[in-house]
Structure 1
Amino acid sequence: MLDSLRSAAGTWLAKILLGLLVVSFAVWGISGSMFNAAGGRDVVSAGSTSVSMNEFRLAYDRQLSILSQRFGSRITREQAVAFGIDNQVLAQLVAGAVLDEQAREMGLGLSRDRIAHLTASDPAFHGPGGQFDRQQFEYVLRQVGMSAEDYLRSREQAAVRQQIVEAVSDGMKAPETLLRAMALYRGEDRTVEYVAVPRSLVEPIEDPSQEILQTWFDEHKADYAAPEYRKISLVKLEPEDIADPSTISEDQVREYYETHKDSYTTPERRTIEQIVFANKDEATTAYESIRAGTTFEDLVKAEGKTLEDVQLGTFAKEDVADPAVAEAAFSLARNEVSNVVDGQFGSVILRVTQIEEASVQPLSEVQAEIAKDLALDEANRILLDVHDGYEDARAGGATMQEAAESQKLKVRTIEAVDRSGRRPDGTIITDLPESNELLAAAFEAEEKMDYPPISTASNGFVFYEVQEITPARDRTLDEVRDQVVTDWKEEEAISRLEERATELEKQLKDGKSLQEIASEIGQETQTKRGLRREADDADIGRAGVAAVFGVPKGGTGVFAGPSGDSRFLFQVTEVFEPAGAGPDSLPEDMRNAIASGLSGDLLDELVMRLQTKYDVTVNRNVMQQALSF
């Protein structure tokens, strides 16, 4: 039983332990206790404490693993460099090293009993009874590739560092003055008056002169450069590409049809009405009244119900949940009323109002569909044989066209496509198989070279070959004149609109009222009350809210409207402080976050001071060596 439990939960428990160690190492770093074989090849040293090349690489790989899990895909070396992971890990290890050196000087440590207690309390090592289990402990450590000695050493190290951390930041609380100021800041609301400055005030924009257009184009030439294009030939091999319904005989189709005839049969369906009674005696009395001439409708009415209330639905026999009801209903003629039926939910009387007869699709109607399905089954069976046949032909010197023809496959050629899947005219090719992977591979490939195929989601393959490469180049103005004119006009309109709005704001500051300005430009003023600092207002957007709270009472400003094609000129007319704003008015999680942030700042300050106290050295050559293997 214990072995079975370990087998089922081992991976999960290993992940728990790995997560615990990753958090410990990522936050505090690892220092000279686990991989001393590197000797003097240290990346970091702080006093008598050092971090070896192997320790740095271990921490780096674990940080990569954390990010890869977060993003859902493996982080490449290039992405890691872009994220600055090497420097992040280095900073973490330096922090850990100086804390360890401080702990060494202070003589901090843990007794073996305390370490044993911490280990025994770790849920990752508990057996089925909820207690520490030695076999479970060894099993989980094997899962993460760590010895018991290394685990106990790292556990002690993390606990000792925690003593320093708690001495610095334990019990830290945010000052009430700070919390009160934040409560006032968050709770303040404002009234603002504003007027839209529409783009129509500066339009139409005249066409630019040749000189202006050429100058603007020269400044933005990179935006109009032609990207690298590639001519790509590809062969898609999926079951539907080699399925041939004409090879399926009539006998095969007929045999399949007869074997699976139920799939082509629509069963009889009946519309059933059902009256449920409180007990069998009431049901029997009602049935006797039916026999005496009472109609089903009268019986329904006598029960205080409508025909809609007793409508059970239209079902095939096997779809009726109550077997007794199904049996009774499918033995009745149309509009016939049943005797009392002992159903699962009580005694009932039934009536069938509609009968849809069973029907069978004839073979002639489904013959083509069956042949296609059988051909796909056969194609799946021989798919790898066709793959091997194509590969053998290429290995024997055949061209892509020849290899494809030998397997009755089609070659498709894309005359020109860039890395994003666009043709030279800007349209996107939407039907490329495995588009992202295919383009990425093709733009790393050399011309006329055969490469391994790309696997598809349908368990197939895409063979590809780059036929021609057209290098990236700068386009001339004449090639893109229409687009350049459009873009220049767009930028010019925005620029003129900004200038006009700025002029109007100056008039507002000089004493002209917002209403006067609105009248002059043919607009109406708007008033927004109760505006809060963190709002995403539907009328003025986040940018507008930020602008309104960026000036004092009576202040003015201009911001872009949410649609982007107008500017809003505004003035803050009222500012209200929240009533009863105090520390307790802030959410508890926010107060805790502020306290945590202050604690983190203190810890950062401690680490910075320790870095000046101890002689910290970093060997970047060794660090780069660590990243190279």
Structure 2
Amino acid sequence: MLSFLCRVFVDSWVGRVVVGLFFLTFVGWGVGDVLMNIGTERADVVARVGPDPILVPAYEQALRMEMPQIAQQMHLDDPSQIPAATREQIAQQVLQRMILQDEVALAARNHGLLVPDSAVRAEIFAIPAFQDKSGKFDRALFNTRLRSSGMTEARLIELVRAEQASKALMEPIRNGATAPASLVRRIFDLEAQTRRVDIVRVPFAAQTPAAPTDAQARRFYANHPWQFEAPAYRHARIVVLSPQTVARSITIPDADLHHMYEQQAQRFNTPETRSVQVITAPTEARARELLATWQGGANWDAMQKSAGKDSASVEMDDIRISSVPSQELGRQIFTAPSDTVSPPIHTDGGWAIFRVIHVTPAHISDFDSARPALQAQALAERVQAQIGDRVQKLQDAIAGGGLDSIPSDLGAVAVAGNVDAHGMTQEGTPAPIPGSTAVRQAIVARVFSQPKGSAPELLQAPEGTWYAVSIDGETPARAQSYEDAAQKVRDAWMDDARRHAADQAATMLYTQAQDGGGLAHIQPAVADMVHSAPFSRTHDVNEVPHDVAEIAFRLDHTGQSLMVEADGAFYVATLTDISTPDPAAQRMLFDRIRTTLSQAVADDVEMSYAQALQAIVKPKPNPSAINAVMSAVSGKGNAEAGQ
């Protein structure tokens, strides 16, 4: 049920706070825990959470709303066509959501958290899905949206009340979790630290060794025979069916794309969002006292400490104006300039001061701009729905008549020709096998492992690709004579000699740098040396290859040197500077790291609390009632539902 609210009413304040917890806790909550607590229960109870029953009608309504959506996504005409295993998974997921919701609501009730009708009404009125173009609650739109989604008004009120009680319980738990300052500083130092190097590139191509004599070339030929042989080739007929090949055979009508665009208006028409730090105080005098401290240069950590017990502080990331509980506060936040502390504002909850730390402008994409994304989404959905059936038809066709009887409407691609073990043709070009490198490697490996003349077999490659191979000819590998490979031998000898010369030159520079304290101290001065710009673990610079930067961050102190082979050259570099900025100089980065880590800590705390609730409450499902609901919803029983 909460997934329904998340999809339809995603902009609500309560949805942003509570639904995130529920999705997180699903990861650690398994049906195995429930199995330990199965007991005898009356037929109209699907599960019991403490003293509270989850009744059959509520569970049936939740599944009735979930099943058609899943069937539509799978392009099925009726929920009864959903495979039994999928129906079982849906039933478990819906039941888990309802149980978890009731567990948190029960905990909130046990702590005496009651939600007044006025708060529930205000929350529902603030849901954008129920508002007209002017932003006011529209009763007719409210009724229409509920009716189209199968949600009753009473059930919505019940859900919102439970969510608000859960929010009142969970927000203090989450807000009290912060990342340790030492950890934040450690991560900041790792990410923000920059280094500089003096660097010299010694490219292979710049070396000019003398051409080999005939004796040298012949000796190189004798010592590297594997480099000078014509490879084995196999003549293969290959059929490939993949999501990409199927997609090429599907046409999406414009009418369908227009309908998707209308259904996903929020995706392509996003309002402005802002990240803001807010402190609320009980009186104007207290707010002005905090304002003076903030404007005096105090950072956010200091302001949170200054707020003390009589005030509250919160940092909200990427919120919409509709997500701010106070209309006046929301209006002020969304008209204030960035990075400026506001004067005190009177709100329903007291006085507030704030600082906008980031603004993401509103973005509107018209249909033509959204078309590529809609096209890709529609193709992905239809491919997912159809590929299983097409694979079965391809398998039947191959079994019935081999590779000559494949229907043209399956979206399969056929290629034929000679290919070597590296996937190259006799002309030295890559064989036109559709798919990624991993797919091509799997198919070529099959070409060289399948016996010649054996019947083709439909096999699965990486990335959801299916293929079949037929081998009808082969050319064994053969050694090339020195006379036939003479030019190739000389080219290979020169390549090897250039690399060896570059290695010697770079090694001499590296040894001098190590002994003399760095490249800058070598005499005479190195002509091609470059003083690099600062680089970090997350930001490379053009003159410093990533391999060099990675090793540079392993060095302990300036003056140390390194030597690396990369990109057709040897690099010699000396570490010349290590700089760790003050967090005050990179406030946005420091705040982002602190926020990310604090969110991770808060997630862990929420997870621990949810697991503790699970151990205390010990929910008891009723498998027979679950099976009865499944039969009513999908038209088929499922003896394993809830197990």
TM-score (norm 2): 0.40
TM-score (norm 1): 0.41
Larger radius of gyration: 1
